[in-house]
Amino acid sequence: MSGLTLTVDAAAWRDHLHAVADATPGLVPVAKGNGYGFGLARLAEEAELLGADTIAVGVPSEVDAVRERFSGDIVVLNPWRSGDPGAAEAAADPRVITTVSRADDVAALAAERTGTAPTRILLEVRTSMRRHGIPADQLRVAADLPDGLEFCGWVIHLPHAEDGRAREAETLATACHAARPGPIWFSHLDPDDARRITDHLDVPVRMRVGTQLWLGSPRTRRATATVLDVHEVARGDRIGYWQRRVPSAGWVVIVAGGTANGIAMEAPTSARSARSRMISVVTGSLEAVGRALSPYTIDGRKRWFAEPPHMQSSMVLLPAGSTPPAIGDAVEVELRLTTALVDRVDLT
Ligand SMILES: *Cc1c(COP(=O)(O)O)cnc(C)c1O
Protein backbone atom coordinates (compact mmCIF):
# COMPACT_ATOMS: atom_id res chain seq x y z
CA MET A 1 0.00 0.00 0.00
CA SER A 2 1.36 3.41 -0.86
CA GLY A 3 1.06 6.50 1.29
CA LEU A 4 2.53 8.08 4.40
CA THR A 5 3.53 5.63 7.11
CA LEU A 6 4.49 6.30 10.70
CA THR A 7 6.60 3.39 11.92
CA VAL A 8 6.92 3.15 15.69
CA ASP A 9 9.32 1.02 17.71
CA ALA A 10 6.55 -0.05 20.08
CA ALA A 11 8.77 -1.31 22.90
CA ALA A 12 10.92 1.84 22.94
CA TRP A 13 7.89 4.12 22.68
CA ARG A 14 6.14 2.35 25.54
CA ASP A 15 9.31 2.59 27.65
CA HIS A 16 9.12 6.33 27.14
CA LEU A 17 5.39 6.44 27.98
CA HIS A 18 6.07 4.59 31.23
CA ALA A 19 8.98 6.90 32.07
CA VAL A 20 6.75 9.96 31.66
CA ALA A 21 4.00 8.30 33.70
CA ASP A 22 6.46 7.50 36.49
CA ALA A 23 7.70 11.11 36.55
CA THR A 24 4.25 12.72 36.42
CA PRO A 25 1.98 12.61 39.47
CA GLY A 26 -1.64 11.91 38.52
CA LEU A 27 -0.94 11.70 34.80
CA VAL A 28 -3.93 12.25 32.51
CA PRO A 29 -2.91 11.41 28.92
CA VAL A 30 -4.36 13.86 26.39
CA ALA A 31 -5.78 12.42 23.16
CA LYS A 32 -7.30 15.11 20.98
CA GLY A 33 -7.39 16.50 17.47
CA ASN A 34 -5.35 14.41 15.07
CA GLY A 35 -4.24 12.20 17.95
CA TYR A 36 -0.73 13.68 17.80
CA GLY A 37 -0.29 11.86 14.47
CA PHE A 38 -1.15 8.46 15.93
CA GLY A 39 -4.93 8.86 15.92
CA LEU A 40 -7.33 8.99 18.87
CA ALA A 41 -8.14 5.27 18.85
CA ARG A 42 -4.49 4.27 19.12
CA LEU A 43 -3.83 6.73 21.94
CA ALA A 44 -6.87 5.50 23.86
CA GLU A 45 -5.52 1.94 23.63
CA GLU A 46 -2.06 3.05 24.75
CA ALA A 47 -3.50 5.01 27.68
CA GLU A 48 -5.34 1.85 28.72
CA LEU A 49 -2.15 -0.24 28.45
CA LEU A 50 -0.32 2.41 30.44
CA GLY A 51 -2.80 1.93 33.28
CA ALA A 52 -4.13 5.49 33.29
CA ASP A 53 -7.43 5.90 35.15
CA THR A 54 -8.44 9.01 33.19
CA ILE A 55 -7.91 10.25 29.64
CA ALA A 56 -8.56 13.75 28.25
CA VAL A 57 -10.10 14.64 24.90
CA GLY A 58 -10.34 18.13 23.44
CA VAL A 59 -14.01 18.45 22.52
CA PRO A 60 -17.19 16.47 23.30
CA SER A 61 -17.43 15.02 19.79
CA GLU A 62 -14.13 13.19 20.45
CA VAL A 63 -15.53 11.19 23.36
CA ASP A 64 -16.89 8.47 21.06
CA ALA A 65 -13.46 7.87 19.52
CA VAL A 66 -11.96 6.81 22.86
CA ARG A 67 -14.96 5.53 24.83
CA GLU A 68 -14.86 1.87 23.78
CA ARG A 69 -11.08 1.61 23.87
CA PHE A 70 -10.44 3.15 27.26
CA SER A 71 -12.20 1.98 30.40
CA GLY A 72 -11.64 4.91 32.76
CA ASP A 73 -12.95 8.45 33.02
CA ILE A 74 -12.87 10.88 30.11
CA VAL A 75 -12.24 14.59 30.68
CA VAL A 76 -13.31 17.09 28.01
CA LEU A 77 -10.69 19.85 28.03
CA ASN A 78 -12.50 22.56 26.10
CA PRO A 79 -15.08 24.29 28.26
CA TRP A 80 -18.74 23.36 28.01
CA ARG A 81 -20.76 25.54 25.69
CA SER A 82 -24.48 25.03 25.32
CA GLY A 83 -25.34 23.33 22.03
CA ASP A 84 -21.86 22.18 21.07
CA PRO A 85 -21.97 18.88 19.14
CA GLY A 86 -21.98 16.03 21.63
CA ALA A 87 -21.92 18.32 24.67
CA ALA A 88 -25.31 17.27 26.05
CA GLU A 89 -24.55 13.54 25.64
CA ALA A 90 -21.15 14.00 27.26
CA ALA A 91 -22.60 15.89 30.22
CA ALA A 92 -25.10 13.06 30.79
CA ASP A 93 -22.42 10.35 30.63
CA PRO A 94 -21.27 9.22 34.10
CA ARG A 95 -17.79 8.43 32.70
CA VAL A 96 -17.30 11.95 31.33
CA ILE A 97 -16.06 14.98 33.26
CA THR A 98 -17.13 18.33 31.79
CA THR A 99 -15.08 21.53 32.13
CA VAL A 100 -16.94 24.71 33.05
CA SER A 101 -15.15 28.02 32.51
CA ARG A 102 -17.74 30.74 33.18
CA ALA A 103 -19.70 31.34 36.38
CA ASP A 104 -22.95 31.70 34.39
CA ASP A 105 -22.43 28.32 32.74
CA VAL A 106 -22.74 26.60 36.12
CA ALA A 107 -26.44 27.45 36.27
CA ALA A 108 -26.90 26.97 32.51
CA LEU A 109 -25.42 23.48 32.58
CA ALA A 110 -27.45 22.55 35.66
CA ALA A 111 -30.63 23.70 33.89
CA GLU A 112 -29.90 21.94 30.59
CA ARG A 113 -28.43 18.70 31.82
CA THR A 114 -30.31 15.44 31.36
CA GLY A 115 -29.81 11.88 32.59
CA THR A 116 -30.02 10.26 35.96
CA ALA A 117 -26.39 10.40 37.09
CA PRO A 118 -25.03 13.76 38.25
CA THR A 119 -22.95 15.72 35.73
CA ARG A 120 -19.34 15.64 36.86
CA ILE A 121 -17.60 18.98 36.44
CA LEU A 122 -14.26 20.69 36.76
CA LEU A 123 -14.19 24.44 37.29
CA GLU A 124 -11.53 26.22 35.27
CA VAL A 125 -9.96 29.35 36.73
CA ARG A 126 -8.63 32.10 34.47
CA THR A 127 -4.85 32.22 34.27
CA SER A 128 -2.36 34.52 32.54
CA MET A 129 -3.21 32.55 29.37
CA ARG A 130 -6.43 34.59 29.24
CA ARG A 131 -7.98 31.85 27.16
CA HIS A 132 -10.82 30.47 29.26
CA GLY A 133 -11.65 30.46 32.93
CA ILE A 134 -13.58 31.96 35.79
CA PRO A 135 -11.94 35.16 37.09
CA ALA A 136 -10.38 34.78 40.53
CA ASP A 137 -12.97 37.09 42.12
CA GLN A 138 -15.85 34.78 41.07
CA LEU A 139 -14.53 31.51 42.46
CA ARG A 140 -17.14 31.49 45.21
CA VAL A 141 -19.54 30.02 42.63
CA ALA A 142 -17.93 26.70 43.56
CA ALA A 143 -19.08 26.83 47.15
CA ASP A 144 -22.75 26.28 46.42
CA LEU A 145 -23.24 24.27 43.24
CA PRO A 146 -26.76 23.55 42.01
CA ASP A 147 -28.25 20.06 42.33
CA GLY A 148 -27.18 17.65 39.63
CA LEU A 149 -23.58 18.86 39.39
CA GLU A 150 -20.77 16.93 41.07
CA PHE A 151 -17.60 18.90 41.75
CA CYS A 152 -14.45 17.02 40.65
CA GLY A 153 -11.89 19.74 41.12
CA TRP A 154 -10.21 22.83 39.69
CA VAL A 155 -8.47 23.38 36.36
CA ILE A 156 -5.37 25.56 36.12
CA HIS A 157 -4.10 25.81 32.51
CA LEU A 158 -0.80 27.63 32.35
CA PRO A 159 1.30 29.10 29.51
CA HIS A 160 4.45 27.39 28.25
CA ALA A 161 6.52 30.40 29.30
CA GLU A 162 8.08 29.44 32.61
CA ASP A 163 8.72 32.89 33.97
CA GLY A 164 6.57 33.27 37.07
CA ARG A 165 4.53 30.18 36.21
CA ALA A 166 5.06 28.25 39.43
CA ARG A 167 4.20 31.27 41.53
CA GLU A 168 1.05 31.90 39.50
CA ALA A 169 0.05 28.25 39.90
CA GLU A 170 0.53 28.47 43.64
CA THR A 171 -1.44 31.71 44.00
CA LEU A 172 -4.36 30.42 41.94
CA ALA A 173 -4.37 27.01 43.59
CA THR A 174 -4.52 28.67 46.99
CA ALA A 175 -7.43 30.90 45.89
CA CYS A 176 -9.30 27.91 44.43
CA HIS A 177 -8.69 25.89 47.55
CA ALA A 178 -10.06 28.69 49.72
CA ALA A 179 -13.26 28.74 47.63
CA ARG A 180 -13.67 24.98 47.74
CA PRO A 181 -11.06 22.28 48.46
CA GLY A 182 -10.70 19.65 45.74
CA PRO A 183 -8.30 17.99 43.35
CA ILE A 184 -6.30 20.37 41.15
CA TRP A 185 -5.91 19.53 37.47
CA PHE A 186 -2.91 21.28 35.98
CA SER A 187 -1.87 21.75 32.38
CA HIS A 188 1.71 22.74 31.56
CA LEU A 189 3.37 22.87 34.94
CA ASP A 190 6.59 21.28 36.12
CA PRO A 191 5.68 18.05 37.99
CA ASP A 192 7.77 19.05 41.01
CA ASP A 193 5.94 22.36 41.33
CA ALA A 194 2.58 20.66 40.94
CA ARG A 195 3.42 18.13 43.61
CA ARG A 196 4.74 20.76 46.02
CA ILE A 197 1.62 22.92 45.68
CA THR A 198 -0.89 20.10 46.06
CA ASP A 199 1.05 18.42 48.89
CA HIS A 200 0.96 21.71 50.74
CA LEU A 201 -2.82 22.02 50.23
CA ASP A 202 -3.25 18.30 50.89
CA VAL A 203 -5.37 17.69 47.77
CA PRO A 204 -4.93 15.24 44.88
CA VAL A 205 -2.99 16.41 41.82
CA ARG A 206 -3.76 15.62 38.18
CA MET A 207 -1.56 16.61 35.25
CA ARG A 208 -2.78 16.63 31.65
CA VAL A 209 0.03 15.86 29.22
CA GLY A 210 -0.06 15.32 25.45
CA THR A 211 2.97 16.39 23.44
CA GLN A 212 5.63 15.41 25.96
CA LEU A 213 3.99 12.03 26.49
CA TRP A 214 3.23 10.92 22.94
CA LEU A 215 5.90 12.81 21.01
CA GLY A 216 8.67 13.21 23.58
CA SER A 217 10.84 10.42 22.18
CA PRO A 218 11.45 11.26 18.50
CA ARG A 219 13.97 8.45 18.06
CA THR A 220 11.27 5.84 18.63
CA ARG A 221 9.51 6.64 15.35
CA ARG A 222 10.10 7.42 11.72
CA ALA A 223 7.84 8.67 8.97
CA THR A 224 8.19 7.53 5.39
CA ALA A 225 6.47 8.24 2.10
CA THR A 226 6.06 5.96 -0.89
CA VAL A 227 7.69 7.00 -4.17
CA LEU A 228 4.80 7.02 -6.66
CA ASP A 229 6.66 7.97 -9.86
CA VAL A 230 10.06 9.14 -11.07
CA HIS A 231 10.68 11.05 -14.33
CA GLU A 232 13.98 12.17 -15.81
CA VAL A 233 13.94 15.85 -16.77
CA ALA A 234 16.23 18.20 -18.70
CA ARG A 235 17.07 21.72 -17.60
CA GLY A 236 14.29 24.09 -18.72
CA ASP A 237 11.60 21.41 -19.07
CA ARG A 238 8.23 22.66 -17.89
CA ILE A 239 6.47 20.57 -15.23
CA GLY A 240 3.57 20.57 -12.82
CA TYR A 241 0.39 22.57 -12.43
CA TRP A 242 2.35 25.79 -12.71
CA GLN A 243 4.47 24.70 -15.68
CA ARG A 244 7.57 26.10 -14.10
CA ARG A 245 10.88 25.39 -15.74
CA VAL A 246 13.13 22.85 -14.07
CA PRO A 247 16.25 24.74 -12.93
CA SER A 248 18.68 21.90 -13.66
CA ALA A 249 18.69 18.45 -15.19
CA GLY A 250 17.82 15.48 -12.99
CA TRP A 251 14.59 13.87 -11.94
CA VAL A 252 11.22 14.90 -10.68
CA VAL A 253 10.12 12.49 -7.96
CA ILE A 254 6.43 12.17 -7.14
CA VAL A 255 6.02 11.19 -3.49
CA ALA A 256 2.99 10.34 -1.39
CA GLY A 257 1.78 13.04 0.98
CA GLY A 258 0.24 16.42 0.28
CA THR A 259 -1.76 19.20 1.84
CA ALA A 260 -4.40 16.72 3.06
CA ASN A 261 -1.68 15.01 5.09
CA GLY A 262 -0.42 18.27 6.55
CA ILE A 263 2.56 18.48 4.20
CA ALA A 264 3.29 22.16 3.83
CA MET A 265 5.95 24.41 2.43
CA GLU A 266 7.55 25.22 5.71
CA ALA A 267 10.91 26.52 4.70
CA PRO A 268 10.77 29.05 1.88
CA THR A 269 14.33 30.08 1.23
CA SER A 270 14.83 33.26 -0.70
CA ALA A 271 11.78 35.12 0.56
CA ARG A 272 12.76 38.73 0.41
CA SER A 273 10.31 40.00 2.97
CA ALA A 274 7.57 38.94 5.30
CA ARG A 275 5.16 40.37 2.73
CA SER A 276 6.41 38.20 -0.13
CA ARG A 277 6.37 35.17 2.13
CA MET A 278 2.76 36.00 2.96
CA ILE A 279 1.86 36.33 -0.71
CA SER A 280 3.37 32.94 -1.45
CA VAL A 281 1.44 31.35 1.40
CA VAL A 282 -1.84 32.91 0.32
CA THR A 283 -1.50 32.20 -3.39
CA GLY A 284 0.31 28.90 -2.99
CA SER A 285 2.76 30.05 -5.63
CA LEU A 286 6.49 29.71 -5.38
CA GLU A 287 7.04 32.57 -7.77
CA ALA A 288 7.12 35.16 -5.03
CA VAL A 289 9.73 33.37 -3.01
CA GLY A 290 11.78 31.08 -5.19
CA ARG A 291 11.97 27.47 -4.11
CA ALA A 292 10.94 25.87 -0.85
CA LEU A 293 12.70 23.02 0.85
CA SER A 294 10.49 19.96 1.13
CA PRO A 295 10.32 17.67 4.18
CA TYR A 296 11.35 14.69 2.01
CA THR A 297 14.85 13.25 2.25
CA ILE A 298 15.90 11.56 -0.99
CA ASP A 299 19.39 10.18 -1.60
CA GLY A 300 20.71 11.56 1.67
CA ARG A 301 19.30 15.07 1.88
CA LYS A 302 16.18 17.19 1.97
CA ARG A 303 15.09 18.09 -1.55
CA TRP A 304 13.36 21.13 -3.05
CA PHE A 305 9.71 21.12 -3.95
CA ALA A 306 9.20 21.46 -7.70
CA GLU A 307 5.96 23.27 -6.82
CA PRO A 308 3.59 23.52 -3.87
CA PRO A 309 2.36 20.17 -2.56
CA HIS A 310 -0.81 18.80 -4.15
CA MET A 311 -3.69 17.37 -2.12
CA GLN A 312 -2.23 13.87 -1.68
CA SER A 313 1.16 13.90 -3.40
CA SER A 314 4.11 16.19 -3.88
CA MET A 315 6.58 16.84 -6.72
CA VAL A 316 10.18 17.04 -5.59
CA LEU A 317 13.33 17.79 -7.61
CA LEU A 318 16.37 15.56 -7.55
CA PRO A 319 19.40 16.99 -9.37
CA ALA A 320 21.62 15.10 -11.83
CA GLY A 321 24.39 13.21 -10.10
CA SER A 322 22.03 11.85 -7.45
CA THR A 323 20.76 8.30 -7.31
CA PRO A 324 17.03 8.35 -8.03
CA PRO A 325 14.77 6.13 -5.93
CA ALA A 326 12.71 3.35 -7.47
CA ILE A 327 8.94 3.50 -7.69
CA GLY A 328 7.59 1.87 -4.53
CA ASP A 329 10.60 2.84 -2.39
CA ALA A 330 9.94 4.47 0.98
CA VAL A 331 11.72 7.78 1.56
CA GLU A 332 12.10 9.60 4.86
CA VAL A 333 9.74 12.53 5.46
CA GLU A 334 9.83 14.96 8.35
CA LEU A 335 6.32 15.45 9.74
CA ARG A 336 5.02 17.85 12.31
CA LEU A 337 2.87 15.33 14.10
CA THR A 338 0.41 17.80 15.59
CA THR A 339 -0.74 18.67 12.07
CA ALA A 340 0.00 15.47 10.15
CA LEU A 341 -2.48 12.90 8.97
CA VAL A 342 -0.69 9.68 8.03
CA ASP A 343 -2.22 6.83 6.07
CA ARG A 344 -0.92 4.13 8.37
CA VAL A 345 0.69 3.69 11.79
CA ASP A 346 2.86 0.57 12.06
CA LEU A 347 3.85 -0.58 15.53
CA THR A 348 6.83 -2.90 15.15
C1 LIG B 1 -4.03 20.24 24.59
C2 LIG B 1 -4.11 20.52 26.06
C3 LIG B 1 -3.18 19.94 26.92
C4 LIG B 1 -2.05 19.08 26.44
O5 LIG B 1 -1.14 19.93 25.80
P6 LIG B 1 0.29 19.43 25.33
O7 LIG B 1 1.06 20.68 25.17
O8 LIG B 1 0.08 18.70 24.05
O9 LIG B 1 0.83 18.55 26.40
C10 LIG B 1 -3.33 20.18 28.27
N11 LIG B 1 -4.32 20.96 28.74
C12 LIG B 1 -5.22 21.54 27.93
C13 LIG B 1 -6.30 22.37 28.52
C14 LIG B 1 -5.14 21.35 26.56
O15 LIG B 1 -6.05 21.93 25.76
Quick: pLDDT tens for 151-179. Answer: 999 999 999 999 999 999 999 999 999 99
pLDDT at 5: 98
Q: What would the pLDDT profile of 51-75 be if each residue is shown by its tens digit?
A: 999 999 999 999 999 999 999 999 9
**Burial (0-12, 13-18, 19+ Cβ within 10 Å), 56:** buried
Query: For the chain, how far is it from start to end, CA to CA, in angstroms?
Result: 17
210 CB near ligand 1 (under 6 Å): yes
141 CB near ligand 1 (under 6 Å): no
- CA dist 59 and 257 (Å) reads 27
Q: What are the CA-CA distances from residue 185 to residues 34, 97, 209 (Å)?
A: 23, 12, 11
Ligand 1 atom at shortest distance from the alpha carbon of 33: 1
pTM: 0.92
- CA dist 74 and 21 (Å) reads 17
77 CB near ligand 1 (under 6 Å): yes
Distance 317 CA to ligand 1 centre (A): 38
Distance 319 CA to ligand 1 centre (A): 42
31 CB near ligand 1 (under 6 Å): no
CB 6 within 8 A of CB 185: no
Q: What would the pLDDT profile of 229-250 be if each residue is shown by its tens digit?
A: 999 999 999 999 999 999 999 9
208 CB near ligand 1 (under 6 Å): yes
Q: What are the CA-CA distances from residue 138 to residues 28, 133, 187 (Å)?
A: 27, 10, 21
Distance 344 CA to ligand 1 centre (A): 24
- CA dist 81 and 85 (Å) reads 9
- CA dist 158 and 177 (Å) reads 17
Q: Per-residue pLDDT for 279 more than 80?
A: no
Helix, coil or strand: residue 30: strand
CA-nearest of 178, 163, 179 to 128 is 163
Q: What are the CA-CA distances from residue 217 to residues 14, 19, 25, 35, 224 (Å)?
A: 10, 11, 20, 16, 17
Distance 245 CA to ligand 1 centre (A): 45
- CA dist 130 and 68 (Å) reads 34
Q: Per-residue pLDDT for 269 more than 70?
A: no
157 CB near ligand 1 (under 6 Å): yes
